[in-house]
Amino acid sequence: MLEVYLLGILVSIIKLADMAELGLGIGLLCFVALLLVQIWLEILMSPEQIWQALSEPLNARD
Amino acid sequence: MRAIDANLLVCPECHQLDRLRSGCLYQHCKRCGARVSIRRRHALSKTWALLVTAMLMYFPANLLPIMTVRNLGQGTPDTIMSGVISLAKQDMLAIAIIVFLASILVPTFKLIGIAALLISIQKKIQFSPRQRVIIFRFIEWIGRWSMLDIFVIAVLVAVVNFGNLANVEAGFGAIAFAGVVILTMLAAITFDPRLIWDNTED
């Protein structure tokens, strides 16, 4: 849902631009970075592998 | 071949296979403990109920104002469509097209798509499983983009609050529109995609 929210922020910025003076803060930059890292994480993470590791008996792991 | 024909069940959470135990409505996954059933009970009637409610909310969502922007005490209430038109008039065609897609086309196609999917499963005709899968993926993936307008209203109401100078108020149309989006998302979740392949084997 973060990407939808980002687009929402962009649309609101454009709607506000003719009404008031706007400056972009560092928070927006961090938010975009968060979004990118989260997408990267979703690409890298493989849930099957994690479930596999979790279902192995405890003594087999050490 | 379906898992049900091989007496197997797949966990929806962790995808662990398990033998089907006879005589109970559902069982718990051995690995993660999630509730696993052959087919979700009453999936079709629950999805229909959510879909009909969403269809009823669709009319106030499009006809009632979603927000009022007040600038120095003046301002007219905007419906979804009048918002798109005013964006287009202000030479912001790209944004107008995005808002039009997300707020008008997507919810409309979602309502029609879910209805078509349910009817084709109940009447066992019209669409091939391949077409049904395409409709289902479209509905599941595209649905959340409709939340765009709700987020815009939320951000504007929170940010633009300068007393009498300028403020933004959300209208009842916004509540109805959020209702449509959330209900169609719930309908997509409640729908059991395994039903898509059920009566196609014979």
**ipTM field:** 0.77
Condensed to tens digits (0 to 9), the pLDDT of residues B100-147 reads 888 888 889 889 888 888 888 877 766 677 788 888 888 888 877 888
**B83 vs A56: which has the higher pLDDT:** B83
For residue B25, the 8-state DSSP code is S
| CB contacts, 8 Å: A4 with chain B | 144-145, 147-148, 151
Q: Is the dihedral of CA B121, B125, B126, B131 positive or negative?
A: positive
The radius of gyration of chain B from alpha carbons, rounded to an integer in Å, stands at 22
From residue B19, give the alpha-carbon distance in Å to each of B30, B90, B157: 10, 62, 53
The model's confidence at residue A60, banded by pLDDT at 50, 70 and 90, is: low
For residue B136, the 8-state DSSP code is H
The model's confidence at residue A41, banded by pLDDT at 50, 70 and 90, is: very high
Question: What pLDDT is attached to residue A35?
Answer: 93
Q: Is the dihedral of CA B197, B198, B201, B202 positive or negative?
A: negative
| CB contacts, 8 Å: A5 with chain B | 151
Task: State whether A9 and B31 contact (CB < 8 Å).
Answer: no
Q: Which residues of B have a CB under 8 Å from any CB of A? A: 14-16, 31-32, 69, 71, 87, 90, 92, 95, 98-99, 102, 144-145, 147-152, 154-156, 159-160, 166
Distance CA(B141)–CA(B165), nearest Å, equals 40
How confident is the model over A1-25, as a mean pLDDT?
84
Question: Residue type at B198?
Answer: D
Question: What pLDDT is attached to residue B192?
Answer: 79
Nearest-Cα residue of chain B relative to residue A54: B31
Question: What pLDDT is attached to residue B202?
Answer: 47
Residue B158: both structure tokens together: 């929170």
Question: What pLDDT is attached to residue B123?
Answer: 77
| CB contacts, 8 Å: A15 with chain B | 87, 152, 156
Ranges under pLDDT 50 in chain B: 202
Domains of chain A by residue range: 2-57
